[in-house]
A and B are shown apart, each in its own frame.
Chain A
Amino acid sequence: MTSSAHNDRTEQMEIDASAKWPVLVFFGSALVWLLFGGVLELIAAIQLHTPAFLSECEWFTHGRLAPAAQNALVYGWGMNAAFAFGLWLMARLSATTLRHGGWLFVAAKFWNIGVTLGVLGILGGYSTSFELLEMPRFVTFILLAAYALIGAWAVTTFSIRNTENVFASQWYLFGAAFWFPWLYAIAQVMLFRAPVRGVLQPVVAAWYVHGLYGLWFIPVALAAAYYFLPKILGKPIANYYLAPLAFWWLAGATAFAGGSRLLGAPVPVWIPTLGVVANFLLVVPVVIIALNLFGTLSGSYRTLSGSVTLRFILLSMAGFILASVFNLALSLRGITEIVQFTLVTGLRDWLIFYACFSTAMFGAAYFILPRLTEKEWRSPALVKAHLGATVLGVALLTVGLAFGGWQQGHLLNNADLPFGEITRAMTFWFAWRSVTLGLLLVGHLAFLLNFFWIACPLNSQDTARAEFQNPPDLDLPKAPAAEGHA
């Protein structure tokens, strides 16, 4: 090991040490929400084929439970996990420690209080009925204030960077750090502070939801993929010179794509049309990103067996491609005529949120946590169970929702069929969904157990001297290697 590589390693350990507790706190809360939201989601799914299940209690009626579950997962698990990963990666790539981490505890505390109140608010009947903005209005301030701290930490860490170059993952994290609060604040103002009238409300809501998935969750997932592939494989991103083009194109087009959710809705037709055009334009960045990521991976597929992180990242990349395909398919009027308002509509968002984003966070956690705690994962069996349940669950749910939704769409469009018949025919797919959600939940439970083992400070015997396999040193000419993965 050369001395500069040695210095790098020491520096990385310093950075990891500074990020340890903020990351553990954010990730720990994320996992609790993942379990809690997953249970709510499962109950809501069961209610679709067994409507009497828990329906007696007003707090658990399906119309409240389903959005509560979605909010718990998106704002509880998704955002917390993204904070944990984003802050750590920003520090690593900017080659600077995460300073004054104590403030991040305050932020984490307030964020989680906000989400808790929000979810309880939905269950208690204070929902606003706009997708992913259902939380009662007073929660907005808590969430925005907490986010302001977190976002400021990410951006400040970036601006005191000790690196010459800025790597692709940093663009995505930097962009996401600004896009989320802007989207959220604008949606709140336009829907609740000074509400717009009539069908403008759904236009604002569609713009927000699409932005949240496309300009927050996808960028964070891509930041993970762009970082871990070269890091673990020990080679630079293939065709890296195209990556900036993909970033700007993806950002610009995604911001305009929200209208595509309103195909056939009573809004001026240019709104969905603009969204459809934007979705078609998105083909270019998706192809570039695929070239970047799969190009880097090509020829190294045997490395996959040695790294859980890589396997999760590969799953996330597959989820990204699949979500993009579904997004495009849902822009075609002929297809939308059939699958609009069916299970397929939910599948598009689920693919982004779970198959693409959540799997990337799992992969990241398997890489980050042993380095932060200087311990190994206690139970390889639990890791395997988590990976297996995730792969199987993603595959089964994608197939189930796609086929089920397709059938549902055809039944809905067959006007001779009474509505009760459709429900009866769909019962099988609703049950399928419950089973796969249960499977995913088992995986999450395995992950949570492993996390407790590794994160619990008391539990350090015979794992303290764990050794990591450092990625091979890059034996490259100086210029491209400086391209940024610190």
Chain B
Amino acid sequence: MKNGLVLFLGVFLALALSWAGLLLTAHRQLGGLAQFKDPVEETLNPFPMSGLADQGRLVYQDLGCVTCHTQQVRREGYGSDLVRKWGQRGSYARDYIRDQTVFLGSSRIGPDLRNAGSTELHSYADTDYFYKLLYAPQAVAPGTNMPAYTFLFDVHPTAGRQASDHALRLTGKHAPAAGLEVVPTARARALVAYLQSLKDTYDYPIEKSRNAPAATEHAREGGH
């Protein structure tokens, strides 16, 4: 190879082809994915995030939660995500169109959070649970290596003022000293609202039929 121009054109083509072939093609296929209107219930799915939850998304982004948590449930038969109750079904591309930033993640040092807010899957996961998890992870998840986000909470003296409605009910060694209360800041409230908004409850008929296992063994066996 002696010709610089040939080298340049080859170098350009190598990347341009992959850009067009991978990114543009994917964009053509998925870029127009829209909410689905349930014909019976007349609801739009996925339902948009609340304003507070969307602020919480920014807190999630800023604290780098994506470093240790994925937000993708693998389909049935691929890993044991469903058995671990990380979702009622595998995630679909359509689930993510409500997320302004998609935190798919690539590491599960902590559990998957795609359905962290689903009380059907985790009956214990109420607001209080998430506050405790953030303030003192060991209090609700013993053995975890999740860091405590104490900086998302204010510790007030209770003397001479009315106790906060939002104060955390902590017991044992995680409880603050006498005369103090732990109150979530606005960021903590937003983050918890975001976490509670994480649930893919609606099962889209199109995706469901596409992702259903093909009529294989059972059908064939039954066919005799």
Contact = CB atoms under 8 A, between A and B. Distances in A.
A171 B9 CA distance: 12
Contacts of A178: 8, 11-12, 15
Contacts of A63: 63-68
Contacts of A126: 62
B55 interface: no
A173 B119 CA distance: 54
B50 interface: no
For chain A, give the interface size range: 35 or more
B158 interface: no
B75 interface: yes
A2 to B, nearest CB: 26
A125 interface: yes
Interface stretch (B16-24, B124-132, B168-176, B214-222): B16-24
B1 A67 contact: no
Interface stretch (A3-11, A12-20, A415-423, A447-455): A415-423
Contact of A264 (B75, B99, B101): B75
Most chain A beta-carbon contacts within 10 A, residue among B33, B107, B111: B107
Contacts of B31: 196-197, 200
A264 B62 contact: no
Going nearest first, the 3 A-B pairs with the smallest beta carbon separation are: A63-B64, A420-B143, A255-B18
Interface of A: 47-49, 51-52, 55-58, 61-64, 66-67, 122, 125-129, 131, 134, 158-159, 164-166, 171, 174-175, 178-179, 182-183, 186, 190, 195-204, 207, 211, 215, 244, 248, 251-252, 255-256, 258-259, 261-262, 264-268, 271, 274, 333, 337, 340-342, 345-346, 412-415, 419-421, 423-424, 427, 430
A255 B12 CA distance: 11
B26 A62 contact: no
B7 A166 contact: yes
A158 to B, nearest CB: 7
Q: By DSSP majority rule, is chain B's interface helix, strand, loop, or mixed?
A: loop
B30 A200 contact: yes
Contact of B145 (A51, A197, A201): A51
Contact of A61 (B10, B95, B149): B149
Most chain B beta-carbon contacts within 10 A, residue among A128, A131, A200, A271: A200
Interface of B: 1-2, 4, 7-8, 10-12, 14-15, 17-19, 21-23, 26-27, 29-31, 33, 60-68, 70, 72, 74-75, 78-80, 83-84, 90-97, 99-111, 137, 141-151
Contacts of A131: 106
Contacts of B108: 341-342, 412
Contacts of B142: 420
A319 B179 CA distance: 58
Given A129-B103, A201-B102, A51 B147 contact: yes
A204 B23 contact: yes
Given A55-B148, A61-B64, A256 B96 contact: no
B30 A266 contact: no
B64 A62 contact: yes
Given A197-B30, A266-B95, 4 more contacts: A51-B145, A129-B101, A420-B141, A423-B144
A397 B80 CA distance: 28
Given A62-B67, A63-B65, A178-B8, A267 B15 contact: no
Contacts of B74: 264
Contact of B78 (A55, A337, A419): A337
